[in-house]
């Protein structure tokens, strides 16, 4: 990634004038719930648990410009729409989740208007799932009303939508974890296949909100993922984006101002 020497003044972009108070709401929610994945019949077609495969794109790991959302000046503006079937409280939780990206990155979510061809559409589908990176047109992000509406889960699926895979699917993961396929549910082995990821010079992160738990998709109660450094290490229970998660966003989208601030979080 590269950064320009000159910086534009940071603009305060709110999702809506009527919801401007969201910016003053406390985001320090105490969440002890891990990312929930619903394995409905429809979701059996997903790869890596909650990622929808794009048959027109050959496993694009978001290493190319094509899957990134466009940047205008110093910011990346991503239009969003939220389905009307959410309650007011549920809708506001999604909005608060989106605003967390405003605090740490140059990503700015704005309400979708008629002239916005590409946008994220949040709706209550058959679980928690997303595509990887910008797909074009109305791009669904499913946050099921019963089980997916947590800050952590919304951040996780949005990270997919802006271009990121699960941590344990990183191209260099074999240096850090053992994958125990003998303990994985039959038919779920695809969730542990390595992706051709661009790791942006950041370390493997057990604290990433994109990391599965050590028992993910276990058929027998035994671990499916073990840390090579410490087999007893617990992971996959993050309730908020890690510093590395944030740093990767800023590196991928060349958020120069925020790259400098990441270590000071």
104 a known binding residue?
Answer: no
- Structure tokens that stand for 137 in this block: 């047109």
Domain boundary residue, one of 137, 162, 187 = 162
211 a known binding residue?
Answer: no
Residue 234 lies in a domain: yes
Cα 164-169-175 angle, rounded to 5 deg: 125
Residue 84 lies in a domain: yes
**Given CA atoms 202, 208, 5, 63 in this order, what sign does their dihedral have?**
positive
67-96 pLDDT, tens digit each: 899 999 999 999 999 999 999 999 999 999
Average pLDDT, the chain: 81
- Domain span at residue 82 reads 68-162
Domain boundary residue, one of 162, 193, 217 = 162
Q: Do 186 and 155 belong together in one domain?
A: no
Helices 88-104 and 243-252 sit at what angle, rounded to 10 degrees?
A: 70
pLDDT of residue 67: 86
pLDDT of residue 259: 83
CB neighbour class for 150 (10 Å; exposed up to 12, middle 13-18, buried from 19):
buried
Residue 99 lies in a domain: yes
Residue 174 lies in a domain: yes
119-158 pLDDT, tens digit each: 999 999 999 999 999 999 999 999 999 999 999 999 999 9
Q: What percent of the chain has pLDDT over 70?
A: 73
Which has the higher per-residue pLDDT, 24 or 3?
A: 3
- Three-state SS for 160? helix
Q: Which residue in the list 157, 189, 234, 254 is annotated as catalytic?
A: 157
156 a known binding residue?
Answer: yes
CATH (domain of 173): 3.40.390.10
Q: Do 198 and 157 belong together in one domain?
A: no
Q: Do 205 and 158 belong together in one domain?
A: no
Q: What percent of the chain has pLDDT over 90?
A: 69
pLDDT of residue 122: 99
Q: Do 151 and 193 belong together in one domain?
A: no
Q: How confident is the model at residue 257 (pLDDT cuts 50, 70, 90)?
A: confident
Give the Cβ contact number of residue 112 at 10 Å: 18
219-253 pLDDT, tens digit each: 999 999 999 999 999 999 999 999 999 999 999 99
Residue 13 lies in a domain: no
Counting the structural domains of the chain, the total is 2
Please state, in angstroms and rounded to a whole number, the distance separating the CA atoms of residues 75 and 124.
Answer: 28
pLDDT over threshold 80, residue 46? no
pLDDT over threshold 80, residue 9? no
Q: Do 105 and 131 belong together in one domain?
A: yes
- Structure tokens that stand for 30 in this block: 């105490």
Residue 153: its H or E element = helix 151-161
Mean pLDDT of 178-185: 98
CA dihedral 165, 98, 109, 236 (to 10 degrees): -10
Q: How many residues does the chain have?
A: 265
Overall pTM > 0.75: yes
189 in active site: no
Q: Do 124 and 186 belong together in one domain?
A: no
């Amino acid at each position: 990634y590269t950064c320009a020497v000159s910086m534009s003044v940071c603009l305060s972009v709110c999702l809506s004038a009527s919801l401007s108070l969201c910016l003053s709401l406390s985001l320090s929610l105490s969440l002890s719930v891990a990312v929930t994945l619903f394995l409905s019949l429809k979701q059996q077609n997903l790869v890596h648990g909650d990622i929808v495969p794009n048959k027109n794109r050959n496993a694009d790991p978001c290493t190319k410009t094509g899957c990134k959302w466009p940047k205008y000046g110093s910011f990346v503006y991503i239009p969003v729409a939220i389905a009307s079937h959410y309650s007011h409280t549920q809708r506001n939780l999604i909005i608060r989740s989106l605003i967390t990206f405003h605090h740490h990155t140059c990503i700015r979510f704005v309400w979708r208007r008629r002239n916005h061809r590409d946008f994220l559409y949040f709706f209550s589908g058959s679980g928690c799932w997303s595509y990887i990176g910008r797909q074009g047109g109305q791009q669904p992000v499913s946050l099921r009303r019963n089980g997916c509406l947590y800050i952590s889960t919304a951040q996780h699926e949005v990270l997919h939508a802006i271009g990121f895979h699960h941590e344990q699917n990183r191209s260099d993961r074999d240096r850090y974890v053992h994958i125990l396929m003998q303990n994985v549910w039959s038919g779920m082995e695809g969730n542990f296949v390595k992706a051709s990821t661009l790791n942006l010079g950041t370390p493997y992160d057990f604290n990433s909100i994109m990391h599965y738990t050590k028992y993910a998709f276990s058929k027998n109660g035994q671990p499916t993922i073990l840390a090579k450094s410490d087999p007893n290490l617990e992971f996959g229970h993050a309730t908020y984006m890690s510093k590395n998660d944030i740093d990767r966003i800023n590196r991928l989208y060349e958020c120069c101002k925020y790259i400098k601030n990441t270590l000071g979080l």
